[in-house]
Chain A
Amino acid sequence: DTEVTQTPKHLVMGMTNKKSLKCEQHMGHRAMYWYKQKAKKPPELMFVYSYEKLSINESVPSRFSPECPNSSLLNLHLHALQPEDSALYLCASSQVHTYEQYFGPGTRLTVT
């Protein structure tokens, strides 16, 4: 099973709202990632967790707050977003010491 699930599939939120994106995998992977992807662009790395600890934060604004409650779950908490944050948010996972990343289907976020 190489499935990564993400909820919700679509999210529309106002600039004053607080919402969360969720990601789950049951492949025993101990590295998990959040990416942001704008139309016709490649995914941009936001955060990396290894063994449930934040190992990379690519200078992401504090209105995005990641959380890794356990080895299977990854959350992205959103607060006071801007319209330019509208994008496809992708979660991925991999083994820490092997290399293939498996991506979820993404959450399409629209900020109004």
Chain B
Amino acid sequence: EDQVTQSPEALRLQEGESSSLNCSYTVSGLRGLFWYRQDPGKGPEFLFTLYSAGEEKEKERLKATLTKKESFLHITAPKPEDSATYLCAVQAVDTGNQFYFGTGTSLTVIP
């Protein structure tokens, strides 16, 4: 069965303290892995798509990487405005456009 697991569930960082969020997945064939940011009460905001192992994408303080079994979202020198829930989602080859979402990591950055 296809599964997506995110860790940790919650993360508190001091401003400037870099860290990584993890998304591990088991799918029969990966079509794409997606990272989203979600603020409370709002829709998820698209961040990155990764398609194959070894791929990396960057945006401001965020960098996403992908291996055959997991993806990492690295946050460098975070600021309080980076506080949000970060969701990863996976599409498998045999399930068309359907997303399998992880349960998310709630990030709090303390000034």
* Pick from A41, A43, A45, A55: contact of B44, CB under 8 Å: A43
Known: A99-B32, A99-B34, A99-B91. A105 touches B42 (CB 8 A): yes
A91: nearest chain-B partner, CB-CB: B43
Which residues of A, 23-47, contact B by the 8 Å Cβ criterion?
31, 40-43, 45
* Count of CB-CB pairs between chains A and B under 8 Å: 55
* Pick from B49, B102, B104: contact of A99, CB under 8 Å: B49
Contacts of A101 in B (CB 8 A): 34, 46, 97, 99
Is the Cβ of A96 less than 8 Å from the Cβ of B97?
yes
Interface assignment of B18: CB less than 8 Å from any CB of chain A: no
- Quick one: CB contact mask for B65-108 with A, threshold 8 Å, 1 for yes? 00000000000000000000001000100001111011110100
Contacts of A45 in B (CB 8 A): 98-99
Contacts of A4 in B (CB 8 A): 43
Contacts of A31 in B (CB 8 A): 97
- Quick one: CB contact mask for B22-56 with A, threshold 8 Å, 1 for yes? 00000000011010100001111110010000000
Contacts of B96 in A (CB 8 A): 55-56
Q: Give the CA-CA distance A96 to B96 in the complex, in Å.
A: 9
Min CB–CB distance A39 → chain B (angstroms): 9
Is the Cβ of A2 less than 8 Å from the Cβ of B43?
no
Is the Cβ of A106 less than 8 Å from the Cβ of B42?
yes
A102: nearest chain-B partner, CB-CB: B46
Is the Cβ of A88 less than 8 Å from the Cβ of B41?
yes
Min CB–CB distance B46 → chain A (angstroms): 6
B4: nearest chain-A partner, CB-CB: A42
Is the Cβ of A106 less than 8 Å from the Cβ of B103?
no
B39: nearest chain-A partner, CB-CB: A105
Is the Cβ of B98 less than 8 Å from the Cβ of A103?
no
A44: nearest chain-B partner, CB-CB: B101
Contacts of A90 in B (CB 8 A): 43-44
Interface assignment of A100: CB less than 8 Å from any CB of chain B: yes
